[in-house]
Amino acid sequence: MSAKPWDGRFAEKTDQATEAFTASIHYDQRLYPYDIEGSIAHCRMLAHVGVITDDEADLMVQGLGEIRRELDHGEFDFDPSLEDIHMHIEARLLQKIGKAAQKLHTGRSRNDQVALDVRMFLRHETRLTIGLLRALRRELVAFARKHAAVILPGYTHTQRAQPVCLGHHFMAYYEMFTRDQARLEDALERINVMPLGAAALAGTTYPIDRQFVADILDFPAVSANSMDTVADRDFAIEFLSAASICMVHLSRLSEEFVLWNTQEFGFLVLPDAFATGSSIMPQKKNPDIPELVRGKSGRVFGDLMALLTLMKSLPLAYNRDMQEDKEPLFNSVDILQSCLDIYIRMLPKVTVNTERMRQAASVGFLNATDMAVYLVKNGMAFRKAHDCVGKAVGFALSKGKELHELPLEELQRFSQLIKADLFDHLTLAAMVDRRTSAGGTASENVMAAIEKAEADLEGGGRDGEEADADA
């Protein structure tokens, strides 16, 4: 099983160190379902155009099916002298059906063959990832609905800024992951292009029917230029770019979970089933899941940089450097899907400390902006109102009180426009519900956004529906 398809040109046997250095079978064996499916479609096409007979095609399809079952059940013997999954399958087919197997590679190259395998793999995994994103979005909307009325501080510069609804806060993440899903759905169109038939780089002299193969393999488009086809990894870079942005969002959510889970914040409690303890400190409950998700984001970013760097100086067409595309791609697919899956499982079990959030929103002068707006509504220019409230904040600090804790007569020292109705204006509920501008945190806005999201998720999209089915 050690014969190589290029042996005719070489006088020396390949050095074992060369075999080990060039081998990719330890990771590209993952592509075997797509390699076999693509080979079956290819041999059916060869029979369709008369390059091989129907009997030969049937024999190849039968043998490839048997090899698939061997691989599925872990009964396939790998040979270290055969560098990749393509050579392993072809060599095994030769063992099974004899010389007819030597015709399987007619009209194709490993260059377009591997492009097909990677595209089919990534098509499948992108649809699974889209399905996971839809599931996470559902959980975010459910979480937002459950806690829609909870009020907590909104932050800028990590300083308490203005009160917001917790439902509004989590719907912000819903928007982020909605964009992530849209990016992957868009990328899927460029992933889902059939490359087989480009051969090594120039096409082939055989009378192949590329559209016939595309129809069998459910590709809506066929690649237009043979050189671009075998040289292109844009589709993988695009996936990694979308994955990296998604990991940014997961990392930001994780950072907030880590902070909010601290005793200093105390805004939420992570479920015991999604935390671990300390080997030395018995009291510890560590937020390992969000910490690991936050940490894994760096690996995905690194994979994107690796593939960009890999491709940046390659001349047309195929270069062996491109063998290095698979490990970063496989790694990022696995990381992104595992991070999405763990959040889908963890989020519904997170406990919110409603009172602690409300208490935090009640201190730190989060009502200062609303006091300024009150003065503006009563006739004061905003810049003057800003200065007036700033002085009132300074005074309240000196007294160790919040603005709404100062007596009316003390507040009126800063402006006679201040009346007793100011205090109703500065309650948490009033401050939140006045923010009715489009996209604002008012309760009616939040509920409308939740209801729209629920309707969107129920309706679904073309690729999202396929993703759910695949997942």
Using alpha carbons, list the distances in angstroms from residue 86 to 25, 28, 91, 109: 9, 9, 9, 10
Q: How many domains does the chain have?
A: 3
Taking the C-alpha atoms of residue 117 and residue 127, their distance in angstroms, rounded to an integer, is 16
Residue at which a domain ends, from 79, 106, 133: 106
What is the reported pLDDT for 415?
95
What is the reported pLDDT for 468?
46
Strands 193-194 and 221-222, by their bridges, are parallel
Query: Does residue 398 belong to any structural domain of this protein?
Result: yes
The burial class, CB within 10 Å (0-12 / 13-18 / 19+), for 55 is exposed
Mean pLDDT within 321-327: 96
CATH number for the domain harbouring residue 271: 1.20.200.10
Q: Which of 10-19, 115-124, 298-307, 348-357 has the lowest mean pLDDT?
A: 10-19
CATH number for the domain harbouring residue 73: 1.10.275.10
What is the reported pLDDT for 471?
37
Query: Does residue 212 belong to any structural domain of this protein?
Result: no
Same domain for 88 and 126? no
419-441, pLDDT tens digit by residue? Answer: 999 999 999 999 999 999 999 99
Task: Check whether 460 has a pLDDT greater than 80.
Answer: no
Q: Which of 19-33, 213-227, 448-462 has the lowest mean pLDDT?
A: 448-462
Task: Check whether 184 has a pLDDT greater than 80.
Answer: yes
Residues 6+ apart with CB under 8 A from 317: 111, 200, 201, 226, 227, 230, 231
Mean pLDDT within 140-166: 97
The burial class, CB within 10 Å (0-12 / 13-18 / 19+), for 357 is buried
Same domain for 42 and 187? no
Confidence grade of residue 18 (pLDDT, cut at 50, 70, 90): confident
Query: Does residue 40 belong to any structural domain of this protein?
Result: yes
CATH number for the domain harbouring residue 411: 1.10.40.30
Same domain for 118 and 98? no
What is the reported pLDDT for 12?
79
Confidence grade of residue 17 (pLDDT, cut at 50, 70, 90): confident
Confidence grade of residue 74 (pLDDT, cut at 50, 70, 90): very high
Domain span including residue 38: 7-106
Mean pLDDT within 5-25: 79
Same domain for 88 and 138? no
What is the reported pLDDT for 351?
98
Same domain for 245 and 118? yes
Taking the C-alpha atoms of residue 434 and residue 326, their distance in angstroms, rounded to an integer, is 52
- Check residue 224 and report its DSSP letter: S
Give me the numbers of helices (H) and strands (E) for the chain, helices first please.
20, 6
Same domain for 98 and 118? no
Task: Check whether 466 has a pLDDT greater than 60.
Answer: no
- Whole-angstrom Cα Rg for the chain: 30
Same domain for 54 and 142? no
Same domain for 51 and 79? yes
Query: Does residue 2 belong to any structural domain of this protein?
Result: no
Query: Does residue 350 belong to any structural domain of this protein?
Result: yes
Catalytic residue among 73, 157, 313, 398: 157
Q: Which of 4-18, 60-74, 172-186, 412-426 has the lowest mean pLDDT?
A: 4-18
Query: Does residue 94 belong to any structural domain of this protein?
Result: yes
What is the reported pLDDT for 461?
46
Catalytic residue among 48, 241, 251, 278: 278
Residue 241 a catalytic site member: no
Mean pLDDT within 70-96: 96
Task: Check whether 6 has a pLDDT greater than 70.
Answer: no
The chain-wide mean pLDDT, for the chain, equals 94
* DSSP-derived 3-state class of residue 454: helix
What is the reported pLDDT for 4?
64
Task: Check whether 380 has a pLDDT greater than 80.
Answer: yes
Confidence grade of residue 7 (pLDDT, cut at 50, 70, 90): low
Same domain for 157 and 298? yes
What is the reported pLDDT for 462?
40
Q: Which of 14-23, 213-222, 366-375 has the lowest mean pLDDT?
A: 14-23
First to last CA, the chain: 37
Residue 157 a catalytic site member: yes
Q: What six digits make up the tokens of 212?
A: 């016939």
Same domain for 320 and 175? yes
Same domain for 178 and 326? yes
What is the reported pLDDT for 80?
86
Confidence grade of residue 154 (pLDDT, cut at 50, 70, 90): very high
What is the reported pLDDT for 120?
98
Same domain for 247 and 117? yes
- Check residue 321 and report its DSSP letter: G
Query: Does residue 1 belong to any structural domain of this protein?
Result: no
Task: Check whether 465 has a pLDDT greater than 90.
Answer: no
Query: Does residue 394 belong to any structural domain of this protein?
Result: yes
